[in-house]
Amino acid sequence: MSSPDRYAVAGNPVAHSQSPFIHAAFAAQTGQALVYERLLCPLDAFGPTVEAFAAAGGRGCNVTVPFKFEAFALARRHSPRAALAGAVNTLRFDSQGWWGDNTDGLGLVRDIEGNAGRPLAGRRVLLLGAGGASAGVLGSLIAGRPAELVLANRTLDKAAALVASHQAWAAEHGVRLATTTLDGCSGGFDILVNGTSASLAGAGVPVQGQVLRSGGLAVDMMYGAAARPFLDWAEAQGAEGRDGLGMLVEQAAEAFALWRGVRPETAPVLAALRAQLA
Computed from CA positions of residues 157, 160, 164, 165, in that sequence, does the dihedral angle turn out positive or negative?
positive
Residue closer to ligand ATR, measured from CB, 152 or 269: 152
Distance between CA 166 and CA 152 in Å, rounded?
15
Q: Does 133 participate in binding ligand ATR (rule CB under 6 A)?
A: yes
The DSSP secondary-structure symbol of 223 reads -
Q: How many helices (H) and strands (E) does the chain have?
A: 10, 12
The CA-to-CA distance between both ends of the chain, in Å, stands at: 39
Q: Does 244 participate in binding ligand ATR (rule CB under 6 A)?
A: no
Q: Which of the residues 59, 68, 78, 110 is marked catalytic? A: 68
Q: Which helix (H) or strand (E) holds 125?
A: strand 124-128
Of the residues 58, 107, 131, 244, which one makes contact with ligand ATR according to CB under 6 A: 131
Q: What angle do CA 228, 126, 243 make, to 5 degrees?
A: 25
Q: How far is the CB of 183 from ligand ATR (least distance, A)?
A: 10
Q: Does 25 participate in binding ligand ATR (rule CB under 6 A)?
A: no
Site string for ligand ATR, 27-66 (x = CB under 6 A): --------------------------------------x-
**Any idea how long the chain is?**
278
Site string for ligand ATR, 190-209 (x = CB under 6 A): -----xxxx--x-x--x---
**Stretch of 88-96, 103-111, 165-173, 189-197 lying at the interface with ligand ATR (CB under 6 A):** 189-197
Distance between CA 113 and CA 190 in Å, rounded?
13
Of the residues 132, 144, 146, 244, which one makes contact with ligand ATR according to CB under 6 A: 132
Distance between CA 197 and CA 220 in Å, rounded?
10
Please, are residues 116 and 273 in contact by the beta-carbon 8 Å criterion?
A: no
Residue closer to ligand ATR, measured from CB, 153 or 179: 153
**Stretch of 27-35, 78-86, 152-160, 184-192 lying at the interface with ligand ATR (CB under 6 A):** 152-160
Active site residue 68: yes
Q: How far is the CB of 34 from ligand ATR (least distance, A)?
A: 28
Distance between CA 257 and CA 239 in Å, rounded?
33
The burial of 119, by beta-carbon neighbours within 10 Å (0-12 exposed, 13-18 middle, 19 or more buried), is given as middle
- The answer to whether the annotation marks 132 as part of a ligand binding site is yes
Residues belonging to the binding site for NADP(+) are: 129-133, 153-158, 221, 244
- Report the interface residues with ligand ATR, using CB under 6 A: 65, 129-133, 153-155, 158, 195-198, 201, 203, 206
The residues annotated with a catalytic role in the active site are 68
